[in-house]
Amino acid sequence: MNVLANDGISQSGIDKLQKSGFNVITTNVPQENLIDYINKEGVVALLVRSATKVRKDIIDNCPTLKFIGRGGVGMDNIDVEYAREKGLTVSNTPAASSQSVAELVMTQMFSISRFTFNANKEMPNNGHTEFKKLKKKYSKGVELRGKTLGIIGFGRIGQSLAKYAIGCGMNVIAYDKFDFNNTITLTFANGSTVDVAVEKSDLNNLLSNSDFISIHVPMQEDGSAVITEKEIGLMKDNVRIINAARGGVINENALLKGLNNGKIAYAALDVFDNEPAPRADVLSNEKIASTPHIGAATVEAQDRIGLELADHIINCFS
């Protein structure tokens, strides 16, 4: 049975599938050719990340397809309910990348607090002639300890982020439109644990009291942004915002306006509208630290994702 990992899969996932008798194809098939390729090769399972979209046209026109797997959390690039109505199994890996995304957000928070995202670009070109100037330019950083981090969306990733932030001495408040358990367990290298209660908050309170705001929600069903000019207006002056969730959950025009008028000090984005061709004015803004949607892209996370997807496929066809 053929499995098409159109956006890639770890070698550990490939090995596990092959041991169970599956043939894994890692050819990246263009979106417009997917239907023909799936039918020609008799693909029974299609694995995607965020790049490939699995809409009704594929579901309706690929009779051999029985399984759709998303390596990661959000499944807004898949018509999930429609696929399930048609009898397909749809699965994702929500826990596998939580730690890697949380670590990237911590990286981004440090970066926009100490200006390393810009200093790292300027030093190779100008450091040898303008060292003192650059030292003065980047000498007004802020510390994370003692600051308040507001987490919008307190699922697995939000909880993982809270653990790192608490470890750095940050005060954490969290909002989610669904009720959640606000007690998280910190696990240390020696195996000891401690339970910590995170403050539950409504959205307005979070916006007005956070020094840093990190967003961890899926794309909204109606496509609307969670953070618009209205929400930005409720935020503290000089707030710092991080989005490693989905492009579109922050209105980019509102974000740029907030950066330009000084309401927002800095922002860090791992996701963008119009991927894989983000707006040039967003990427070039000196107050935005950008990464190319790499939240889950660690070796460890990819291994976990590949192995988990392999287990889902094996169970589906066993």
Summarize pLDDT for 83-101 with one digit per residue, the tens: 999 999 999 998 899 999 9
Same domain, residue pair 144 and 282: yes
Domain with 221 in it: 98-290
Q: What is the pLDDT of residues 140-199, one digit of tens each?
A: 999 999 999 999 999 999 999 999 999 999 999 999 999 999 999 999 999 999 999 999
As annotated, the active-site residues are 246, 275, 293
Same domain, residue pair 224 and 113: yes
- The alpha-carbon radius of gyration of the chain (Å, integer) is 21
Same domain, residue pair 134 and 283: yes
Distance in angstroms (rounded) separating the CA atoms of residues 62 and 35: 6
Same domain, residue pair 109 and 210: yes
- Within a 10 A sphere around the Cβ of 253, how many other Cβ atoms? 15
pLDDT category of residue 289 using cuts at 50, 70 and 90: very high
Domain count of the chain? Answer: 2
**What is the pLDDT at residue 245?**
94
Same domain, residue pair 148 and 233: yes
Same domain, residue pair 116 and 253: yes
Q: What is the pLDDT of residues 39-53, one digit of tens each?
A: 999 999 999 998 899
**Residue 264 predicted with pLDDT over 90:** yes
CATH number at residue 122: 3.40.50.720
Same domain, residue pair 136 and 51: no
Average pLDDT over residues 204-213: 98
**Residue 18 predicted with pLDDT over 90:** yes
**Residue 76 predicted with pLDDT over 90:** no
Same domain, residue pair 155 and 174: yes
**What is the pLDDT at residue 94?**
85
Buried b (16+ CB within 10 A) or exposed e, 184-208: beeeeeeeeeeeeebebbebeebbe
pLDDT category of residue 211 using cuts at 50, 70 and 90: very high
Half-sphere exposure of 65 (CA within 13 A, CB side): 27
Same domain, residue pair 107 and 157: yes
Same domain, residue pair 146 and 209: yes
Q: What is the mean pLDDT of the chain?
A: 96
pLDDT category of residue 205 using cuts at 50, 70 and 90: very high
Same domain, residue pair 248 and 312: no
Predicted TM-score (pTM) of the model is 0.89
Same domain, residue pair 124 and 235: yes
